[in-house]
Amino acid sequence: MPMVVELFWGVAVSMAAATAWLVKKASRVVTLYDASVMLFLLTMMLSMLVGAVYYLYAPSITTLFVLLAANMVSMSIFVIPIVASLMYGGKKLEDFGGIRGLTMAGAFQLTAVALVVTSEVFMGWAFSLASGAILPAGGGAGIFSALVRSISSYWFVFTMAGEMAVTVYILRDRLQKAVWTVVGAQVLIMLFSPTAIDSPGWARYSAYAGSAVMIVLFVYIFEFLYKNRSLDRRTSDYLVLIMMAYGIMMAGIFSWLLFGNEDVFALSLIVEMVVYFSAVIRSKEPGSEELESWQSRPLWVFAVLSFLFVAEFFMGAVIDVYAYGTAFFTSIHQAPIAGSIPEIIAASGYDFISYFSAVTASAWYLIMMGIEMGALVLFKIRYARELETKIRLGMVVAAYAVYAVFLPYFVFPSTAQYIPWIGWSMGVGTAGALAPAVALALLATYFVSGLLSFFFGSRNVCSVFCTAALMYQGTAIDSMSSFNRTSKLGRKFLTSKLSASYKWVVSLVWLSLVAAAVLSYLNSLGVVDVTIFGTDTSFFMYSFYFSFLWYVVWIMIPFMGTYACATTGLCGWGSFNHLVSRFGLFKLKVKDSDTCVTCATKDCAKVCPVGITDQPGSFIATGQLKSMKCIGVGDCVTACPYQNVYFYDIRGWLRERLRGPKSPVTQGVTLPVVRSRLSPDARGQATEGP
């Protein structure tokens, strides 16, 4: 039997190499004749593999003769287009018209992709049956189950990984470097399919390895987007589709781990193959297509962020299952789905938020997210000009690792509610119910955070300690601040003024938080018995705002702008610190107002991640900006081409009292202007420098 398996592997490798050669030829088809020949070869390969599967389900001499006859007939039929194409004398596909936008070349490419992917599915199915990896069970359910198992098995997975590697190598001259890199990651992720080998050890460590490669891939894609603000349509379509495929893949792995069902994972492999072969067969010479700014395509950006979040969400869920077991999910409190229609809707919504927030608030999800988004923040350190901004960005990464993950989840996981500023890092509800025993810790948290906001501005929360700082300040995400000015909803919250919409939102948020906190406190005293399907009111509101709604808002960046949690008033904890900061010492100042008068670019307003577009006017009128909405990210400081803007807080205030007024130049720590390979241009975008 081992020799038979080795023989099968030899045949599988040979067929994979042949398929890679056919894909290469298909990518270079120009004439109708070439297309006809290619479709003939692909169809014959598919017919042979379908016949092999059929024979393995019903092995007999009769079946063999029927299959041979069917192949002869199909060959006769599909040779007709080849003969017919000779009548056109080598006419090119692009010379033929299209139907409803689908050109002849496009139709050929779609057909070729369908034939190749279907052939690969039947090849894996045939070898799985022939090797005994799966049994040819009868009935519709049995056949479907065998198909899914064969796609998830090593016969399909490993063969596909090898074929992808060979194909991308022989097509290296037609693929951009970015596509090369992404496909290389695809090969590794395909290779690390946890269902490929029936072994708990393989499943666990391949899931870890695949997740690690996927994280690196996502970081690469976002950094690629930061450096390339304009993309051709094929590349942009490929990137968003591959992220969609991996979103489905991680959902499939989670479903397999929790329920033992491989259907979704098998589907993701098929989707990945379709995306891959579409990319290589439809590839053109680099630089042969027009470029378009992805920042002008909000729906595309929304799709990228949505698929990224889905992949990260289920990746975190998979790691949670391996870290804590399936009990992590099966023990989550659920509301009974019963009663009237409104009761069923409310219970379903509660259950959805409960499962959703269980993942987004888990340690391993936050660790995975921290690695991915933290890498983008570290990249941004290279582009920051001011030493203070570089230090602050380093503090963002450190604060996320220590303050948001290590201390509350690994040092004080059960006693955090008694520890000020750590246990209640986001105000009421953070560490659970509000009770007399923890009231002092909660009040101390507000005092400590408020004091920091008074001295240094709300930047201590929104730009350092809050997880939003890591999520919004990485290179690619930070560049999406352009949506603050271009999106319809984002424009409603521009300038330093508080719009009516902001006032309504922040009022409703605080009314809900205060009401939930009061009920939570009265519950702890036994005065009332009010919960939300058995969950403390204060804790539920925290989960809703920070573990659910916050991520919805983040995905909606193309329609709401960056830092919408702060600009719209949705973050109650942030608005508290913003208010304190408004009456505190922090402000932005300029060294010379006249410089702002003559400035032609107004870069400070263009790059602001919270959309304070009236900075220049405030600088010109008063020499400073003091706004409740300013969170001190400092992009305006870095973007100013004259190094005219600087921070002022308790440090500047103390200097003035202890040493007397100093030149503005000495009040902020800056570095000399050094032209880097990538530096922000007048729009805050990354452009190649000399």
Average pLDDT over residues 153-182: 83
Of 18-22, 25-29, 95-99, 466-470, least confident by mean pLDDT is 95-99
pLDDT band at 78 (very low <50, low <70, confident <90, very high): confident
Q: How far apart are CA 210 and CA 285, in angstroms?
A: 31
Q: Establish if 372 belongs to a structural domain.
A: no
Q: Do 418 and 555 share a domain, yes or no?
A: yes
- 349, 238, 376, 365: which is closest to 309 by C-alpha? 365
Q: Do 161 and 181 share a domain, yes or no?
A: no
Q: Establish if 337 belongs to a structural domain.
A: no
CB 326 within 8 A of CB 257: yes
More confident residue, 551 or 283: 551
Contacts of 275 (CB under 8 A, 6+ apart): 238, 241, 242, 244, 245
Is the pLDDT at 271 greater than 90? The verdict is: yes
Per 3-state DSSP, the chain is made up of helix, strand and coil in percentages (nearest 5) of 70, 5, 25
Average pLDDT over residues 69-76: 81
Last residue of one domain, picked from the residues 170, 191, 214: 170
Instruction: Quote the DSSP letter at residue 408.
Output: I
CB 643 within 8 A of CB 596: no
Is the pLDDT at 512 greater than 60? The verdict is: yes
* pLDDT at res. 670: 41
Structure tokens at 134: 């799966």
**Amino acid identity of 286?**
P
Q: Establish if 620 belongs to a structural domain.
A: yes
Give residue 623's domain range. 382-690
Helix axes 298-324, 200-227, angle to 10 degrees: 150
- 3-class DSSP string for 426-444: CCCCCCCCCCHHHHHHHHH
Q: Do 115 and 237 share a domain, yes or no?
A: no
* pLDDT at res. 35: 87
Instruction: Quote the DSSP letter at residue 418.
Output: G
Q: Do 398 and 520 share a domain, yes or no?
A: yes
Q: How far apart are CA 15 and CA 611, in angstroms?
A: 57
Last residue of one domain, picked from the residues 267, 300, 331: 331
Of 87-91, 451-455, 502-506, 530-534, least confident by mean pLDDT is 87-91
Return mean pLDDT, the chain: 88
Q: Establish if 408 belongs to a structural domain.
A: yes
Residues 319-351: pLDDT tens digits?
999 999 999 998 899 999 999 999 999 999 999
- 242, 147, 227, 241: which is closest to 187 by C-alpha? 242
Q: Do 443 and 517 share a domain, yes or no?
A: yes
* pLDDT at res. 678: 37
Structure tokens at 8: 């099968």
* pLDDT > 90 in the chain, percent: 66
Is the pLDDT at 451 greater than 90? The verdict is: yes
* pLDDT at res. 226: 95
Q: Do 497 and 585 share a domain, yes or no?
A: yes
Q: Do 212 and 85 share a domain, yes or no?
A: no
Count the neighbouring beta carbons within 10 Å of the beta carbon of residue 572.
23
Q: Establish if 429 belongs to a structural domain.
A: yes
Q: Do 110 and 183 share a domain, yes or no?
A: no
**Amino acid identity of 312?**
E
* pLDDT > 70 in the chain, percent: 93
Last residue of one domain, picked from the residues 111, 143, 170: 170
* pLDDT at res. 674: 37
Q: Establish if 477 belongs to a structural domain.
A: yes
Q: Do 62 and 164 share a domain, yes or no?
A: yes
* pLDDT at res. 191: 92
CA distances for 458 relative to 339, 348, 360, 580, 581, angstroms: 46, 37, 24, 8, 6
Contacts of 183 (CB under 8 A, 6+ apart): 164, 168, 175, 276, 279, 280
Total count of residues recorded for the chain: 690
CA 336 to chain centre: 33
Q: Do 538 and 469 share a domain, yes or no?
A: yes
Q: Domain total for the chain?
A: 3
SS3 category, 153: coil
Q: Establish if 90 belongs to a structural domain.
A: yes
Residues 390-448: pLDDT tens digits?
999 999 999 999 999 999 999 999 899 999 999 999 999 999 999 999 999 999 999 99
Q: Do 67 and 129 share a domain, yes or no?
A: yes
Structure tokens at 186: 């695809």
* pLDDT at res. 668: 42
Count the neighbouring beta carbons within 10 Å of the beta carbon of residue 274.
17
pTM tops 0.95, yes or no:
no
Of 7-21, 95-109, 190-204, 425-439, least confident by mean pLDDT is 95-109
Classify burial at 436, counting beta carbons within 10 Å of its beta carbon; exposed 0-12, middle 13-18, buried 19 or more: exposed
SS3 category, 400: helix
Q: Do 154 and 185 share a domain, yes or no?
A: no
Q: Establish if 348 belongs to a structural domain.
A: no
